[in-house]
């Protein structure tokens, strides 16, 4: 606070000297002095005590809101947290957990992490942390992060309840660096087609991809499905490095430009791992920014088939600028363009609030269900390398459209998810029956083939719905039954094994994956799509 005050006093002195010198000033200088003077006057002459830090932050936030939807202010305390998913690691004890009935319950310890090393197991409940009771309404995600995360090398003691044993077990855990993987799933869909799902474009994503690719290649992969659905983006450089894996040397990947940012181009190198094999990229309305750079480049160079629904439409590049107190402004400095020249950014001239309603508008227009509800003006027409017509001005339009699965439309299913009943029940079930499931089915492959959701599990879900005050409707259940039962199985698999198994279970009824398999399995169809026929 003292340093901030000295800063404003220095600004005030500068203003006084400038006024004395009576030098002509630019408009930018005048506006800067105007803002600094306002803050100085509030701090020194306002009738009540003013929280000048909050006033300053509010002024910055309001100013950025007037520019575009993606320029943002991040306070000092939130900078590290905001960067964490992209940097690819954090420091803590290394567990995946869920809050079940106000209790921290371990879903799985991170392999090789601090918790696993001392003997923490799936199903353990943290009753005390450093001697303080850690159950009840005070326990939320913020509480867990505050008490379990910390600098590498520091210690934390947890008192654990395990199974039905009334005695608590004490563990002393030394915090360490915990990796955050950006790839959610890697597996073979059949003997020829590999599948990789990327959650975000993080610092280590390209290296993760190379390792995943090598794993699939060793299993005989000939074609690849690269899933970017729900991937909101990340680092521009990571997106460029990822595109480089798919296309041959010296092809334009992306270019950026803005009024104060001259055109900058990025081109492919000779380092690509997969430049000739058949490729499908899956996208949807949640695929944004870096996902659109990759899918746009693949489409423009006719390198692979893009399947799904129109992507989000974020074509603005944010550059981070550090402020004196450790806070940060992420300011839009340029627009990115795909190789054909498309800018994918959708319009935002009507303001941030209107921009935020885009997905709601797409739903109303029927875009999630019918491809012909989307219309692009001729002025936004561009051509791929092979002469196919593609459009800019609002996301990447896929080569093959996949409507939203109507099983999601059930009010029962929506409420089971929204109120946590589905997740809570499957987590409870997996924790109680983990050892029996592993003993009975030996491995995941056997589980995926033979495990079925019987009447006993459906009755258990009904009870969980009742506890969560979700009204059970048999007609709605019948509508969502196939999807809901499969998701129950997938969630159980995730909690018994790992996250990737969820996607593997769901693949059999995933419309995007099934369409991708159809296209990859038909050489004539695959080639005709890329030729625009």
Tokens of residue 157, six digits = 């003691």
Give the position of tokens 């885009």.
358
Q: According to the model, what pLDDT value does residue 102 have?
A: 82
* Distance linking the first and last C-alpha atoms of the chain: 66
- pLDDT at res. 197: 97
Contacts of residue 436, Cβ cutoff 8 Å, sequence gap at least 6:
none
| Distance of alpha carbon 512 from alpha carbon 283, whole angstroms | 9
For position 27, what pLDDT does the model report? 75
Domain ranges of the chain: 2-50, 89-179, 183-404, 407-497
89-179 and 183-404: same fold?
A: no
| Residue 2 vs residues 8, 12, 183: alpha-carbon distances, Å | 10, 15, 45
SS3 169: strand
Cβ atoms within 10 Å of 424's Cβ, excluding its own: 19
Pick the CATH number of 183-404 from 3.90.1170.50, 3.30.70.2190, 3.90.226.10, 3.40.50.300: 3.90.226.10
Determine contact, residues 126/134, Cβ cutoff 8 Å. yes
Side-chain-side CA neighbours of residue 99 (13 Å) = 14
Joined together, the tokens standing for residue 528 give 């005709």
Tokens of 498: 């790992």
Give me the pLDDT at residue 407, please: 67
CB atoms within 10 A of CB 77: 9
**Separation of alpha carbons 380 and 397, rounded Å:** 12
Q: What does the alpha-carbon distance between residue 2 and residue 306 come to, in Å, rounded to a whole number?
A: 55
Distance CA(97)–CA(101), nearest Å, equals 13
| Confidence (pLDDT) at 24 | 59
Question: Half-sphere exposure (CA, 13 Å, Cβ side) for 181?
Answer: 18
Query: At CA 297, angle to CA 335 and CA 299, rounded to 5?
Result: 125
Q: What is the largest CA-CA distance in the chain?
A: 86
CA 209, distance to chain mean position in Å, is 16
Tokens 């040397």, located at residue: 249
Choose which CATH entry (3.20.20.60, 3.40.605.10, 2.30.42.10, 3.90.1150.10) describes domain 89-179.
2.30.42.10
Please answer whether residues 175 and 152 qualify as being in contact, where contact means their C-beta atoms are separated by less than 8 angstroms: yes
- What's the Cα-to-Cα distance from 328 to each of 57, 61, 78, 120, 218, rounded to whole Å? 11, 11, 9, 38, 44
- Partnered with residue 103 across adjacent β-strands are 100, 135
Residues whose CB is less than 8 angstroms from the CB of residue 415 and which lie 6 or more positions away in sequence, other chains included: 421, 465, 470, 471
Q: Which of helix, strand or coil describes residue 75? A: coil
Running along the chain, 533 residues long, what does each successive block of 10 average in pLDDT? 48 48 66 85 88 88 88 85 70 84 83 82 88 90 88 93 85 88 94 96 94 97 97 92 97 95 95 96 94 97 96 91 90 94 90 82 83 74 94 91 81 88 89 90 93 95 93 92 93 90 93 97 95 79
Strand, helix or coil for residue 471: coil
Residues 6 or more apart whose Cβ sits within 8 Å of residue 508: 486, 514
**Do 234 and 315 meet the contact criterion of CB atoms below 8 Å apart?**
no
């Amino acid at each position: 606070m003292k340093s901030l005050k000295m800063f404003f006093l220095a600004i005030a002195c500068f203003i006084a000297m400038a006024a004395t010198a009576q030098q002509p000033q630019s408009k930018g200088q005048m506006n800067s002095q105007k803002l600094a003077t306002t803050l100085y006057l509030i701090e020194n002459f306002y009738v009540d005590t003013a929280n000048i830090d909050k006033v300053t932050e509010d002024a910055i936030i309001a100013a950025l809101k007037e520019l575009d939807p993606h320029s943002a202010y991040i306070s000092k305390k939130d900078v590290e947290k905001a960067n964490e998913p992209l940097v690819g690691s954090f420091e803590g004890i290394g567990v995946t957990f869920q809050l079940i009935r106000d209790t921290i319950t371990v879903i799985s310890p991170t392999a090789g992490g601090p918790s696993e090393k001392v003997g923490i197991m799936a199903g353990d409940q943290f009753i005390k942390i450093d001697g303080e009771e850690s159950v009840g309404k005070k326990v939320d995600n913020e509480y867990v992060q505050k008490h379990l995360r910390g600098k590498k090398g520091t210690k934390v003691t947890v008192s654990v309840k395990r199974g039905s044993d009334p005695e608590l077990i004490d563990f002393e855990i030394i915090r360490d660096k915990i990796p955050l993987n950006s790839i959610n799933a890697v597996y073979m869909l059949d003997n020829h087609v590999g599948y990789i799902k990327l959650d975000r474009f993080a610092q280590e994503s390209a290296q993760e991809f190379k390792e995943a690719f090598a794993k699939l290649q060793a299993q005989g992969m000939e074609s690849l499905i690269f899933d970017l659905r729900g991937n909101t983006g990340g680092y521009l450089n990571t997106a460029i490095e990822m595109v480089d894996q798919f296309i041959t040397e010296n092809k334009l990947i992306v270019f950026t430009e803005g009024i104060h940012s001259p055109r900058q181009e990025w081109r492919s190198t000779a380092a690509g791992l997969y430049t000739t094999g058949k490729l499908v990229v899956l996208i949807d309305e949640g695929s944004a920014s870096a996902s659109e750079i990759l899918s746009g480049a693949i489409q423009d160079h006719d390198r692979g088939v893009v399947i799904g629904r129109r992507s989000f439409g974020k074509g603005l590049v944010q550059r981070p600028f550090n402020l004196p107190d450790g806070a940060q402004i992420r300011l839009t400095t340029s627009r990115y363009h795909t190789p054909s020249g498309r800018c994918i950014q959708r319009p935002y001239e009507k303001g941030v609030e209107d921009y935020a309603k885009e997905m709601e508008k797409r739903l109303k227009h029927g875009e999630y269900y019918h491809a012909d509800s989307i219309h692009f003006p001729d002025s936004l027409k561009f051509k791929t390398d092979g002469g196919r017509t593609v459009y800019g001005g609002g996301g990447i339009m896929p080569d093959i459209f996949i409507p939203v699965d109507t099983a999601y439309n059930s009010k029962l299913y929506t409420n089971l998810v929204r109120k946590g009943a589905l997740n809570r029940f499957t987590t409870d079930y997996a924790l109680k029956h983990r050892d029996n499931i592993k003993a009975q089915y030996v491995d995941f492959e056997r589980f995926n083939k033979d495990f079925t959701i019987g009447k006993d599990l459906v009755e258990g879900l009904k009870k969980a719905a009742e506890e969560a005050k979700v009204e059970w409707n048999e007609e709605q259940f019948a509508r969502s039954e196939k999807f809901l039962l499969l998701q129950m199985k997938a969630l159980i698999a995730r909690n018994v094994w790992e996250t990737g198994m969820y996607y593997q279970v769901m693949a059999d009824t995933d419309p995007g994956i099934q369409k991708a398999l159809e296209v990859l399995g038909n050489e004539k169809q695959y080639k005709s799509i890329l030729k625009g026929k």
